[in-house]
């Protein structure tokens, strides 16, 4: 018989899950858009968001340490907000993750069509999501091995591209440093934040982590520090190697601009495509895993007779919760546009982060120890990112409304 110990994951696997949850295809597409909107100063955007997310991560890790229970955001918010607010926070988190994974499924299809041109990106993305969902049904051991393989296939090409770009580094590419003004550095935080979302996914795996009270906060901190370091090195190498005008002339993935910096080195582009693809697969796999575990724990918290009956008879279990979350991602994949997905992801996830961090503000000992200085900073930076995401949402809504009104007027 399998023991409980063999069904647990250690600190290393938990850290890898956190890294896989964060490192997505965005790191290969966002730098081009950033450079086009903020110039070389986009390095500061990444540094600011890394600091902001570090503060958030430290705070959420602290809450996880003080309230070592399964249910993550439900357990973190319940001490001050009660049952209803706990469910609201956890629901915001799951909605944000579901929408984000739907967006990544789109990216998976777009990457796979390069290798299977006879199929549509939508079909390939949907098929990939279904395959990863079912892969998560085969147990913790196989999922742990998959996570380790995916992180190697993601990080190695990322480091290789970084090293290659530094061979072409030129300080002249940093001038002008902030051609679009200081405000642009902060306006783009909503985009960069998407690259770091997922650091909290490890908290959803509380029930299957060995010695979670000690290993969970460590895994959150370790995974974030490693990923933040990789991101900053990668973005800095790109900015130093690629002239600014290349980003606007060759938009899209950074591979489009790099092919002109390294003419004749097609392997560079292939390396980026492969790394990007495995980054997507790693993120999807880890988030389906973590979200499925969290969904099951939330079903246990819902005080509805029918839900409790399904739990008692075994119909609601890890497998069915995983299939449920995979179906939700599938719906997001088919129903939401990319622009709306970016904005809604930021709004829902930032909401859950802030609600969780507020818990620390209600604990006197956290103020006496001085730890709440990090918490307050985390909340302030989170609200700043929330503001720019909400502002972009309003602008997008107004543009759509004006466009619709113009169409109606023309029809009349």
Segment 122-176, tens digit of pLDDT: 899 999 999 988 887 775 555 667 677 777 777 887 888 888 889 888 888 888 8
CA pair distance 174, 130, nearest whole angstrom: 44
CA pair distance 218, 230, nearest whole angstrom: 18
Helices (H), 201-317: 212-241, 244-249, 255-261, 266-301, 305-313
Residue 311 has pLDDT above 70, yes or no: no
Q: Name the region of 230 (left: φ>0; alpha: ψ -120 to 50; beta: rest).
A: alpha
CA pair distance 253, 271, nearest whole angstrom: 13
Q: Which stretch of DSSP H or E encloses residue 179?
A: none
317-327 pLDDT per residue, tens:
788 888 889 99
Give residue for tokens 């933040």: 228
% of the chain with per-residue pLDDT over 70: 84
- Would you place residue 400 in the very low, low, confident or very high pLDDT band (cuts 50, 70, 90)? very low
CA pair distance 376, 400, nearest whole angstrom: 36
Q: Which two tokens stand for residue 251?
A: 């938009």
Say how many domains are in the chain: 1
Question: Are the CB atoms for 272 and 116 separated by under 8 Å?
Answer: no
Nearest alpha carbon to residue 61 among 43, 82, 76, 46? 76
Which CATH number belongs to the domain containing residue 84 in this structure? 1.20.1740.10
Q: Which two tokens stand for residue 301?
A: 């918290």
Nearest alpha carbon to residue 253 among 28, 103, 40, 23? 28
pLDDT value, residue 317: 77
Mean pLDDT score of the chain: 80
Residue 195 has pLDDT above 50, yes or no: yes
Q: Which two tokens stand for residue 310?
A: 């399904």
Buried b (16+ CB within 10 A) or exposed e, 137-154: beebeebbebbeebbebb
CA pair distance 129, 313, nearest whole angstrom: 28
Q: Look at 397 and 134; give whichever has higher pLDDT.
A: 134
- Would you place residue 88 in the very low, low, confident or very high pLDDT band (cuts 50, 70, 90)? very high
CA pair distance 287, 220, nearest whole angstrom: 14
CA pair distance 178, 185, nearest whole angstrom: 8
Contacts of 139 (CB under 8 A, 6+ apart): none
Nearest alpha carbon to residue 28 among 198, 280, 200? 280
Rounded mean pLDDT, 231-253: 83
Residue 300 has pLDDT above 80, yes or no: no
Rounded mean pLDDT, 15-37: 75
CA 196 → CA 184, 199, 245, distances in Å? 19, 7, 27
Most distant CA pair in the chain, distance: 73
Nearest alpha carbon to residue 24 among 277, 302, 388? 277
Residue 6 has pLDDT above 80, yes or no: no
What is the three-class DSSP state of 91? helix
- Would you place residue 345 in the very low, low, confident or very high pLDDT band (cuts 50, 70, 90)? confident
The conformation of residue 290, written as its DSSP 8-state character, comes to: H
pLDDT value, residue 375: 93
Contacts of 303 (CB under 8 A, 6+ apart): 83
Please calculate the CA angle 34-284-156 and round it to the nearest 5 degrees. 65
Q: Which two tokens stand for residue 79?
A: 């001490």
Q: Name the region of 185 (left: φ>0; alpha: ψ -120 to 50; beta: rest).
A: alpha
- Would you place residue 355 in the very low, low, confident or very high pLDDT band (cuts 50, 70, 90)? very high
pLDDT value, residue 358: 95
- HSE of 47 in the Cβ direction (CA atoms, 13 Å)? 8
Q: Look at 292 and 201; give whichever has higher pLDDT.
A: 292
Q: Is the dihedral of CA 89, 45, 24, 244 positive or negative?
A: positive
Residue 198 CA from chain centroid, whole number: 4
CA pair distance 351, 349, nearest whole angstrom: 5
Residue 204 has pLDDT above 80, yes or no: no
- Which residues span the domain enclosing 147? 5-411
Rounded mean pLDDT, 249-269: 77
- Would you place residue 261 in the very low, low, confident or very high pLDDT band (cuts 50, 70, 90)? confident
Rounded mean pLDDT, 250-263: 77
pLDDT value, residue 85: 93
pLDDT value, residue 401: 41
Rounded mean pLDDT, 378-407: 65
Question: Are the CB atoms for 106 and 129 separated by under 8 Å?
Answer: no
pLDDT value, residue 411: 46
């Amino acid at each position: 018989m399998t023991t409980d110990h063999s069904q647990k994951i250690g600190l290393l696997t938990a850290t890898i899950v956190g890294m896989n949850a964060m490192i997505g295809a965005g790191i290969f597409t966002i730098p081009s858009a950033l450079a086009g909107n903020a110039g070389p100063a986009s390095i500061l955007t990444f540094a600011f968001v890394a600091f902001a997310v570090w503060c958030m991560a430290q705070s959420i890790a602290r809450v996880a340490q003080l309230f070592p229970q399964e249910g993550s955001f439900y357990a973190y918010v319940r001490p001050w907000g009660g049952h209803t607010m706990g469910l609201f926070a956890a629901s915001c988190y799951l909605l944000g993750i579901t929408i984000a994974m739907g967006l990544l499924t789109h990216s998976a299809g777009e990457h796979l069509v390069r290798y299977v041109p006879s199929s549509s990106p939508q079909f390939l993305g949907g098929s990939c999501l279904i395959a990863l969902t079912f892969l998560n049904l085969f147990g913790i051991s196989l999922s742990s091995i998959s996570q380790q393989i995916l992180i190697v296939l993601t990080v190695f090409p990322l480091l290789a591209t970084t090293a290659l770009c530094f061979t072409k580094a030129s300080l002249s590419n940093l001038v002008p440093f902030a051609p679009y003004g200081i405000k642009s550095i902060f306006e783009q935080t909503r985009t960069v934040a998407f690259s770091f979302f997922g650091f909290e996914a490890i908290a959803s795996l509380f029930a299957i982590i060995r010695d979670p009270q000690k290993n969970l906060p460590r895994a959150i901190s370790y995974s974030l520090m490693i990923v933040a370091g990789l991101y900053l090195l990668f973005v800095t190498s790109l900015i130093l190697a690629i002239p600014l005008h290349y980003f606007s002339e060759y938009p899209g993935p950074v591979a489009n601009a790099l092919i002109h910096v390294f003419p004749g080195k097609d392997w560079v582009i292939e390396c980026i495509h492969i790394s990007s693809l495995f980054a997507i697969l790693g993120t999807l796999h880890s988030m389906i895993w973590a979200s499925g575990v969290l969904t099951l724990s939330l079903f246990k918290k819902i005080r509805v007779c029918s839900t409790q009956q399904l739990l008692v008879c075994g119909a609601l279990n890890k497998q069915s919760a995983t299939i449920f979350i995979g179906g939700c991602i599938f719906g997001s994949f088919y129903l939401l546009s990319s622009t709306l997905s970016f904005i809604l992801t930021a709004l829902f996830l930032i909401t859950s982060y802030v609600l969780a961090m507020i818990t620390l503000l209600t604990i006197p000992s956290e103020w006496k120890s001085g730890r709440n200085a990090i918490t307050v900073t985390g909340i302030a930076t989170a609200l700043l990112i929330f503001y720019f995401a909400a502002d972009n949402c309003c602008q997008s809504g107004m543009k759509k409304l004006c466009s619709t009104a113009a169409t109606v007027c023309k029809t009349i």
